[in-house]
Amino acid sequence: VEHPAKATNRETREHNERLVLATVYDSGPVSRADVARLTGLTRTTVSDVVEGLLASSLCEEIGHGPSTGGKAPILVEIPSEARLLVGVDLGDQVFTAAIVNLRGAILQRVDAPSESTNGEGALRLAIDVMERALSLAGAPVLGVGIGAPGLVDASAGTVIQAVTRDWRMLPLGPIVADHFGLPVYVANDCQAAVLAEHVFGATRGPNLITVKAGQGIGAGLVINGETFPGDGYGAGEIGHTIVDPGGRMCRCARRGCLETVASMPAILVELSDRLGHPISQEEALRQFRLGEPDAHEVVLEAGRQLGAALGGLVGALHVRRFVLAGTMAAFGEPWLEAVAAAAADRALGALAADTTFELGRIDDVVVLGASALLMTRELGLSLHPFGSPRPPRTPVAVAVAGAAAASTPGLAARLGAAP
């Protein structure tokens, strides 16, 4: 049995590589001497690691910095397109695969309508959008990150169950990894969304809850800087908690789930009933913005129902920041206020006063979260745009709990020389 405190040489090398890479990523352009100062590693170690990163083209020398008396130091940085990421959102209505750079910018995207496909067909469509996106990548691709619906075992890359796709125990990660010969990471779409908000959001605290309300309703949790999957990957599955026994039939075959009163399909059904004809999402949004009374009443009631459910989370976890995403967020501030007010009504006053609800500001939240997952896992980096508050310079800023510990050769060895 290995003594846990006694790191092997390989572990030490990998740790040092991740530390140097994260420091150059956060602080670049930066000199080797400054990297040594920031990491506490020796200059020899830093030089060795940087040589490996230069050889794999993950790092680049970009000229000389100002001299502080002696020879002007050479500065190194990580080019934002040194590697590209494939971020995938297997959404209820659209499958999206995007080529994303190391700073979280979407360079190319492929979308395909996905509403009417399930089982094998849905899997084929997913692989097809990834294939089309990959064909657009103009630089080496690091791997694929996927945000998938349903219960997902992130350590194995298995979709345990996704009702909308009729997927059960689908080894999605291994299938995609075999197909493309690339590393693949899979997370539940709400977990991906919360990771994107945590990494790209305006403020970064240790804890965060993102609630995605659209075709379905689910929450993703970051607790102490790590996504929290729960004991069986079901943390945040709030959409099928019954709030109206005897209410409308749910797609899970029970009655009165939160999704039947607070999701986009729920408000479209309710509005259609009131108006006597079917209504589209776009039309509902238009009517809401015009202040049409039925649309207003139905949407705000949906917001109150969601808020009432979130009130329970406020008390259970005392997480100060809730970010609301998904298509329902398009109803904007009035809907948000209905959610927040209902949550405050249900929670202990002191806790409610200490909790903020805000609308997500990130487009393509699942695509970017899946990219962040891939990048964090493969490089030990956390994505954040230039100019945002920098995370502490510890080796791995965000880890997805439950993922298997990597026992792989050093980063530079694994990445190999750039093609």
Q: Which is nearer to Zn ion, 252 or 351 (CB)?
A: 252
Q: Which is nearer to Zn ion, 208 or 235 (CB)?
A: 235
* CB of 240 closer than 8 Å to CB of 256: no
DSSP output for 265-327: HHHHHHHHHHHTS---HHHHHHHHHTT-HHHHHHHHHHHHHHHHHHHHHHHHH--SEEEEESG
Interface with Zn ion includes 123 (CB under 5 A)?
A: no
Under DSSP, the state recorded for 330 is: G
Q: Which is nearer to Zn ion, 160 or 401 (CB)?
A: 160
Interface with Zn ion includes 250 (CB under 5 A)?
A: yes
Cis peptide before 149 (omega within 30 of 0): no
The closest alpha carbon to 11, from 413, 410, 414, belongs to 410
The closest alpha carbon to 285, from 326, 330, 252, belongs to 330
Least distance from C-beta 244 to Zn ion, angstroms?
Answer: 11
Binding-site string for Zn ion from residue 330 to residue 349, where x marks contact by CB under 5 A and - marks none: --------------------
CA distances from 351 to 103, 194, 220, 314, 346 (A): 35, 21, 20, 7, 10
Interface with Zn ion includes 252 (CB under 5 A)?
A: yes
Least distance from C-beta 47 to Zn ion, angstroms?
Answer: 58
* CB of 271 closer than 8 Å to CB of 303: no
CA distances from 17 to 38, 60, 140, 236 (A): 14, 15, 20, 34
Least distance from C-beta 254 to Zn ion, angstroms?
Answer: 5
Q: Which of 20, 152, 209, 257 binds Zn ion (CB under 5 A)?
A: 257
Least distance from C-beta 388 to Zn ion, angstroms?
Answer: 38
If phi > 0 it is left, if psi is from -120 to 50 it is alpha, else beta; for residue 287 that is alpha
Least distance from C-beta 187 to Zn ion, angstroms?
Answer: 22
Least distance from C-beta 92 to Zn ion, angstroms?
Answer: 14
Under DSSP, the state recorded for 92 is: S
Tokens standing for residue 183 = 């590393």
Least distance from C-beta 258 to Zn ion, angstroms?
Answer: 8
Applying CB under 5 A, the span of 3-11, 69-77, 254-262, 357-365 interacting with Zn ion comes to 254-262
Applying CB under 5 A, the span of 108-116, 255-263, 316-324, 392-400 interacting with Zn ion comes to 255-263
Q: Which is nearer to Zn ion, 37 or 251 (CB)?
A: 251
Residue for token digits 């690091």?
142
Residue for token digits 């050889």?
55
Least distance from C-beta 302 to Zn ion, angstroms?
Answer: 15
Q: Which is nearer to Zn ion, 252 or 401 (CB)?
A: 252
Fill in the amino acid letter for 300. Answer: L
Applying CB under 5 A, the span of 162-170, 207-215, 232-240, 311-319 interacting with Zn ion comes to 232-240
Count the residues in the chain: 419
Q: Which is nearer to Zn ion, 239 or 391 (CB)?
A: 239
Least distance from C-beta 255 to Zn ion, angstroms?
Answer: 8
Q: Which of 18, 83, 240, 304 binds Zn ion (CB under 5 A)?
A: 240
Applying CB under 5 A, the span of 22-30, 189-197, 234-242, 262-270 interacting with Zn ion comes to 234-242
Applying CB under 5 A, the span of 116-124, 215-223, 239-247, 365-373 interacting with Zn ion comes to 239-247
Fill in the amino acid letter for 403. Answer: A
Fill in the amino acid letter for 41. Answer: L
Q: How far apart are CA 110 and CA 155, in angstroms?
A: 27
Q: Which is nearer to Zn ion, 257 or 261 (CB)?
A: 257
Applying CB under 5 A, the span of 110-118, 218-226, 247-255, 395-403 interacting with Zn ion comes to 247-255
Interface with Zn ion includes 219 (CB under 5 A)?
A: no
* CB of 206 closer than 8 Å to CB of 225: yes
Binding site for Zn ion (CB under 5 A): 240, 250, 252, 257
